[in-house]
Amino acid sequence: MWQALDREYTYLPDGYDHKYVYSRIGYNLKSTDLQAAIGLAQLEKLNGFMTMRHSNFHTLRTGLIIEKMEEFLRLPVETPNSKPSWFGVPLTIRDGASFSRNQLVMLLESKYKIGTRLLFGGNLLRQPAYCHLPNMRLPNSDKIMKDTFWVGCWPGLTTEIMMYMSECIAAAVRSLIK
């Protein structure tokens, strides 16, 4: 479960999830023979997984549009001529919102039991491992690092669960803007 941390990082937003803090440059490869065998078996289910992820993404996105959340959240869209297999649904707090990502994420997890994650490393140039590099202005990366999170669209989730998630996200946002 995501939670604010006591740790402080010079160039990262307050409460940045330690799972996405990179303090050393290197590799993180952990594939084992067992994992590879399971992966091969899962390939037989790939088309079904992709169909469900696509459906779950659209169910959540449509629910958030119905709940009129576009005023507060940037909702992802598929680029023309693409059909991604969504790993999760990234949501970005719009500029000028009266609440922060941390406030929304903490409410979703504590009150509604909806798991969230940060969008991995955010602006990698702000990570401890890379902060010695020349400071380049990457405003879009900074925005994502500060204001984006995602919720899952795992193929085992049902349409009802995805609609529940969109309703809870909307309820959480509404409770934060009052």
In the DSSP assignment, the letter for residue 124 is G
pLDDT digits (tens, 9 = 90+) for 26-74: 766 667 788 888 889 889 999 999 999 999 999 999 999 999 999 999 9
Tell me what pLDDT residue 5 has.
46
- CA end-to-end span of the chain: 26
| The amino acid at 64 | L
Task: Look at 122 and 78; give whichever has higher pLDDT.
Answer: 78
Q: 151: helix, coil or strand? A: strand
* Residue 107 CB partners (closer than 8 Å, separation 6+): 172, 175, 176
d(CA 60, CA 162): 5
| The amino acid at 19 | K
pLDDT digits (tens, 9 = 90+) for 109-162: 999 999 999 988 788 888 888 878 887 778 898 999 999 999 999 999 999 999
Q: Are 101 and 93 in contact (CB under 8 A)?
A: yes
d(CA 97, CA 111): 21
Q: SS3 string of 109-151?
A: HHCCCCCCEECCCCCHHHCCCCCCCCCCCCHHHHHHHHHEEEE
Q: What does the buried/exposed string (b/e) look like for 86-116 if buried means 16 or more CB atoms within 10 Å of the residue's CB?
A: bebbbbbbeeebeebbbbbbbbbbeeeebeb
Confidence of residue 101 (pLDDT cuts 50, 70, 90): very high
* Total-model pTM: 0.81
d(CA 150, CA 73): 12
* Residue 5 CB partners (closer than 8 Å, separation 6+): 15, 16, 17, 18
The arrangement of secondary structure in 46-177, i.e. its CATH architecture, is Alpha-Beta Complex (3.90)
Domain boundaries, the chain: 46-177
